[in-house]
Structure 1
Amino acid sequence: MAPTPDPNSMRDFYIGLTLAVSSSVFIGSSFIIKKKALIKISTYATRAGDGGYGYLKEWLWWTGFFLLSFGELFNFVAYAFAPATLVTPLGALSVLVAAVMSSYVLKEALNVLGKVGCLLCIMGSTVMVIHAPQEDAANSLPELGVRLKDPAFITYICLVFVVSGVMIFYYAPRYGQKNILIYITICSIIGSLSVMAAKGLGIALKDFFSGKPVLTNWLTYLFILCLVTFISIQMNYLNRALDVFNTSVVTPIYYVFFTTSVIVASAILFQEWMTMDAGSVLGTLAGFATIVCGIFLLHAFKDLNMGFKDLSNITQKKENRQNSINDSSPNHVQDETTFNSNIETEALLSNAEEGRARDID
């Protein structure tokens, strides 16, 4: 049975949870507000896609920009309070917020499968919140420094460097334009290290406000360097994937690969799963799988025009077709018998003609 977290850990958990959810709301709404601003600008200025910069004079676009900035800031700070196993998967809520707001603000259709996807995202996130680890194994820079020397995590870092190096220098130039998994794998595994760096920098920030000597600790500057480097690589290959492949395909695959990589890296570095019982582990994995299904439904069928009325019509048509078949079943049997008799007659005539041809020969 998992040990009961102390009150301070529970407080940090709920602070991190609130920040993560708020981050998703800000980021998801920022996409819609900036999109509405770009639509508005396209009526009187050169579009951004055509090289225009008229959006810089539009207050609505700047509103979306600041919402996105606040969202990313909240997400960064959330890593200082809550486990990465919880914070990263909750990023899927931004997709949910964007989908719902686009339906009301931009008047874009959200079909029945999209609504089911939204419901699955909410359910999966709720399950993950209930079962996710509620405290970190490392709550200060000295503790984190000890864990960074763990042979398992060093092995993981070496594995990431080897795999990403082979992908970047060999597979990406040859197969990157054809196989979506090349770019996605690179930005996902490198992204897992960027999250670990963000987590470490968040812990350093929390120690700083607690009055601990952070600026003299070399780990602080290592985390800053790693965060900038890894995010640059991650965004580079994510942009390549979005440029070459369909967004509706890239988004769910990237979410699965990136979140899985973060969960693995976090489990190795912080060993969060060691404090969880089997039920909590299965619950967390089930919640993650539910979110994945919701993201898939939201993106894979977003262009399908289907509502609840369409489902009712399909059901009604099936019932009518079945009733018509049942009503005409005697005639159907008779028609089938006649059809079979015609086939047998044609076969006999064909055999007779072949025999006559052989007799003539």
Structure 2
Amino acid sequence: TTQPASYKVIGVLLAVGSGLLIGGSFIFKKKGLQAAERKFGAAKGEGHEYLKSWLWWTGMIVMIIGELMNLIAYSFTDAILVTPMGSLAVVTSGILAHFILKERLTTFGWLGSTLSILGSVIIALNGPAEETSTTIQAFQKKFLSVGFLVWGSLCLVSAAGMVFFVAPKYGKKNMLVYITICSLLGGLSVACTSGLGGAILTSIRGDSSQWKQWFMYFTLAFVITTLLLEINYLNKALALYNSASVTAAYYVIFTSCTLITSIILNSGFHGASTTSIVTLVLGFLVIVVGVALLQLSKIEPEDVKSGMLDGKTSLLLSAARSETTHHADDDPGIDAIRGISGVAGTIHR
């Protein structure tokens, strides 16, 4: 049956509120990580002492509320409208990090973040029409299709491989390691969240048979498990790297994984025009450029081997960093951060 027009408005408003809350939760959680490090002195990115911090739990509660709003939003409207609203988390986190954590992105960082968000929005707005599931039976049929099982298995195997083989060696050298793990699991989580949300909404409408299906409980368990794993590895990324960079990169990669997963789950390319497909590809290219700039913003020109960058690029990197390195009152100082083992970490080099 066709959903009322008001459902779309409700879904979008819930998605907007979700983005604002999730963006703010990053700040609370990072403040909690910093407080836990000062008090308990755990190694950077290791341990779970942050569980004893009320600030971290405040951020966790805010994030859970945001995630619940996101779940409900998927129940009211298509993922194609809900997913882009995640950009508000990037904007919110960046602004709050500027005023509360005293962290600043360089010019390259802001450009990269902007391009990344624009690319993700382009993909979301031009994505093929999706056929949403309103019952758990319909979602089960899609979930158990050959195409989605292959994709889901690939994501799980890739995430497991990164957890056991890549993260121990490169996790503290590149933030994309932990973020990619979160995103691969997150894409699958959103797919299940969409199906679960639709089934719950159908149940609220009066169809009690939804809770009599075993797949309903499997889906619920899968969502909880993947969410807990995402939280764990996102915490590691937040503890090691600049919060604005983590948020921006997480949004980009997570959105990409979510859209790909949604397209495969819902056979989204069926009937899509050439223009739509080309636009999607261009959107991904914009994201790639954005991520490249975001990573470039963390490079110290003097640390790059001779010949790797031309003189003008080195000059641009130096100029981009001047806005942060020439104002000591803009951040607590790298020595102070290292003095407390730097649970949060910054990119102010």
TM tier relative to shorter chain? 0.5 to 0.7
Instruction: Output the TM-score relative to the length of structure 2.
Output: 0.64
Give per-residue Cα distances to partners, 1:296-319, cap 9 Å, x unaligned: 645653797857x98xxxxxxxxx
Give per-residue Cα distances to partners, 1:293-341, cap 9 Å, x unaligned: 456645653797857x98xxxxxxxxxxxxxxxxxxxxxxxxxxxxxxx
Question: What is the total number of aligned residue pairs between the two structures?
Answer: 298
Letter in 2 for 1:263: L
Unpaired runs of 5+ residues, structure 1, are: 1-5, 311-361
The answer (yes or no) to whether the contact 2:116–2:252 under 8 Å persists in 1 is no
Residue matched to 2:270? 274
Residue matched to 1:198? 193
The answer (yes or no) to whether the contact 1:23–1:74 under 8 Å persists in 2 is yes
Deviation at 1:172, TM superposition (A): 4.3
Give per-residue Cα distances to partners, 1:21-66, cap 9 Å, x unaligned: 2211122233346667999x89xxx65767699963x8xx887555
Letter in 1 for 2:191: M
Letter in 2 for 1:74: M
Once the two structures are aligned, what percentage of the paired residues are identical? 33
Alignment of 1:40-79 (within 5 A): 47=39, 56=54, 66-79=61-74
| RMSD of aligned residue pairs (Cα, Å) | 4.4
Deviation at 1:221, TM superposition (A): 0.4
Letter in 1 for 2:21: F
Residue matched to 1:211? 206
Letter in 1 for 2:24: S
Letter in 2 for 1:283: T
Alignment of 1:122-201 (within 5 A): 123-124=118-119, 126-128=121-123, 130-133=125-128, 135-168=130-163, 171-172=165-166, 175=169, 180=174, 183-201=178-196
Residue matched to 2:338? none
Deviation at 1:9, TM superposition (A): 7.5
Residue 227 to residue 65, structure 1, CA distance change in 2 (3 Å): closer
Letter in 1 for 2:96: M
The structure with the largest helix share of the pair is 1
Residue matched to 1:223? 219
Instruction: Output the TM-score relative to the length of structure 1.
Output: 0.63
1:21 maps to 2:8: no
Residue 16 to residue 300, structure 1, CA distance change in 2 (3 Å): farther
Residue 269 to residue 230, structure 1, CA distance change in 2 (3 Å): same
Q: Within 1, Cα distance between the matches of 2:255 and 2:19? A: 15
Residue 176 to residue 29, structure 1, CA distance change in 2 (3 Å): closer
The answer (yes or no) to whether the contact 1:96–1:121 under 8 Å persists in 2 is no
Residue 117 to residue 243, structure 1, CA distance change in 2 (3 Å): closer
Give per-residue Cα distances to partners, 1:84-139, cap 9 Å, x unaligned: 45534542331222212333555554544444445445644653454234553423
Residue 287 to residue 155, structure 1, CA distance change in 2 (3 Å): closer
Q: Within 2, Cα distance between the matches of 1:273 and 1:187? A: 25
Residue 260 to residue 243, structure 1, CA distance change in 2 (3 Å): same
Deviation at 1:216, TM superposition (A): 1.0
Residue 98 to residue 245, structure 1, CA distance change in 2 (3 Å): closer
Name the structure, 1 or 2, with higher relative contact order (CA <8 Å, separation 6+). Answer: 2
The answer (yes or no) to whether the contact 1:16–1:82 under 8 Å persists in 2 is yes
